[in-house]
Each structure stands twice: as C-alpha cells, then as structure tokens.
Amino acid sequence: MANGTNHFVSVADWSADELLRILERARELRRLYHAGERPQTLQGRTLAMYLEKPSLRTHVTFEAGVTQMGGHAVVLRPDQVGIGTRESPKDVARNLSRWVDGIMARTFSHSLVEQLAREATVPVINGLTDLLHPCQVMSDLQTISEKMEPKDATVAYVGDGNNVANSLVLLASVLGLHLRVATPASHPPAVRVLQRAEKLARESGARVTLTVDPAEAVRDAHFVYTDTWTSMGQEAEVEKRRKIFAAYQVNAELLKHAPDAWIMHCLPAHRGEEITDEILDGPRSLVYEQAENRLHSQKAIMERLMAPAF
C-alpha cells in the first residue's frame, strides 16, 4: 500500500500493485458468485454503514456483500448518530472502532471521511463524498478489464468534473492508463485532485488529457463514460446546469466519433439529459455490469481491509 494506509478513502492512497490485486480478487469473487459459491472470509465481522446521502447501489452492494461473505452490516443514519451535533467525528470513530471491524461512510463532506479515518482504529471505506467515489471507479476498472486490458484502453469521460471524474483521474494516474476528460471550463475536476494526479502520472506514465471539447475526448475511444449533470445537494442548480452541459450529452451524434465504444454510466441516470435512452439501453451499454461489479469490487476491498490475513 502507498503511505501504509489501512483505509480506502482514495485510490491515490494505494499503489498500482495493490489496486491490481484487489481487481484480480474482485474478478475471482464475481466468478465464484455466478458459480453459486460464497467465500466466508468475513465470518463474524461487522461493518458499520454511515449513510448521509440517499443510496441504492452503495447501500445494497455493501450490505449484501458483507452478508454474503459471512459478516453483518449495521446501518447508521445521520439523525441517529448526530455527527457534529450529538457527537464529534472523533468520538463516533473511536466508539465504532471498539464495536465493529470496519466503517463505510457515504457523506457530503470529504473532510468528514478523512476525519473518521484519522481517528478510527478500524478500516474506513469511502462509500462516496462530494470529492471522490473510489469504490465506483474500482468497479469501473473491473468492468473495463472484462472487455480488454485496461492499459490498452482509451477511456473518455464527458460531463461534470465531479467526484466520479476526480476518482477516474486519480485511478488512471496511479495505474498508468489513458483517460480523456471533457468538461465545460467552468466545471473541471478539482484542483487538488489534478495536482496530486500530475505527480502520480509522472511516475506511472499515465496519459490524462483535459479538454472542453467532447468530440475530441471521445474520438476513437474504447469506452465513453458520463454521469449526471446535477449531483445530490445541487438540486437548486438544475436548470443552470442543463444549459451549461447541453453540448455534453452522450448521444448518437457524439458517438459518431467513437462508433465502437462501450458506454459507461455510474447511475443513477437522468435519462434524456446527460445520456439518451437509445444509448443507455443500447447494445454497447455496460451500465448494469458496472452496477453489478460494485458488489464484487467492494467485497474485495472489504476482504483486503477487514480480513487481511486471508
């Protein structure tokens, strides 16, 4: 692991070798799942799941994943825990560390997950923050690897420079991948992410290109990825964002520049906005493979952190 971390807050905290080991285990866990086998490597272990944001994929895949591996999940809601009102992040992290074997937090504030990781003596997994979505991009890596060797792939991301874009930039930079990111000039990936990615890319040989032109980004790409233009907490900006991102819709016209590309979206999708139904439901769409791989990649992450002797 990079920096000796025992948490999964950012893919940039892990070495390329470690991430690839997690990927290989995730692929094996998917194979076993479809063969009807459930390795009990988390037997007797408990995961606390702190969920500030609404969730389908994160909630179900973590709870189902730990259960399938013989463990148990405890769901914690903000009004129940009261971080910052009833109790400090430090006290929550230190209490939970006495009771459970791991903490998954899905929050608005990235700094809250960082605080929990600093104070907890058990592993903390970032289930999503406004800055990063590392578990999502590990499932994306698995999905890409099922079609071709990731190092041979050109991945194009089109849309908002949000938490998914940020994590894709970091993943590509750690692993030495080829990623093109097309966003409006007003909504690029986060500066702190780009600064860290620049250093990582120099070491890995990654090719991460930023552009405002979606056609330039997708031209001859193997994978075209998009995400919602309006994330949770940005609902007041819906109309403004629709105007800003109108030219970034993934549709048949844009895909003339990459007619053989596989289509990716982390979901939930705002159909008819960032992507058309024709493309989302089309034969080149991998969106449900990505969603399934959340289960397998997160199992591999939990196993790596909560059952390190395995």
Backbone torsions φ then ψ of 6, nearest 5 degrees: -120, 20
Same domain for 279 and 160: yes
SS3 102: strand
Q: Encode pLDDT of 114-144 as tens digits.
A: 999 999 999 999 999 999 999 999 999 999 9
CATH code for position 31: 3.40.50.1370
Tokens of 120: 């907890």
The boundaries of the domain holding residue 53 are 2-133+293-305
Query: Can you give the pTM of this predicted structure?
Result: 0.96
Residue 4 confidence (pLDDT) above 50 = no
> What pLDDT score was predicted for residue 2?
40
Same domain for 49 and 13: yes
Same domain for 259 and 216: yes
Identify the helix (H) or strand (E) that includes residue 62. helix 57-68
Residue 261 confidence (pLDDT) above 50 = yes
> What is the C-alpha R_g of the chain?
19
Same domain for 210 and 266: yes
Q: Domain tally for the chain?
A: 2
Same domain for 86 and 153: no
CA–CA separation, 310 vs 270, rounded Å?
40
CA–CA separation, 297 vs 135, rounded Å?
7
Residue 239 confidence (pLDDT) above 90 = no
Kindly indicate the confidence band of residue 310, based on its pLDDT and cuts at 50, 70 and 90. low
Tokens of 51: 């969920």
Kindly indicate the confidence band of residue 230, based on its pLDDT and cuts at 50, 70 and 90. confident
Same domain for 237 and 191: yes
Asked if the structure places residue 127 within a domain, the reply is yes
**Average model confidence (pLDDT) across the chain:** 96
Catalytic residue positions?
Answer: 106, 133, 136, 227, 266, 294
Q: Encode pLDDT of 97-120 as tens digits.
A: 999 999 999 999 999 999 999 999
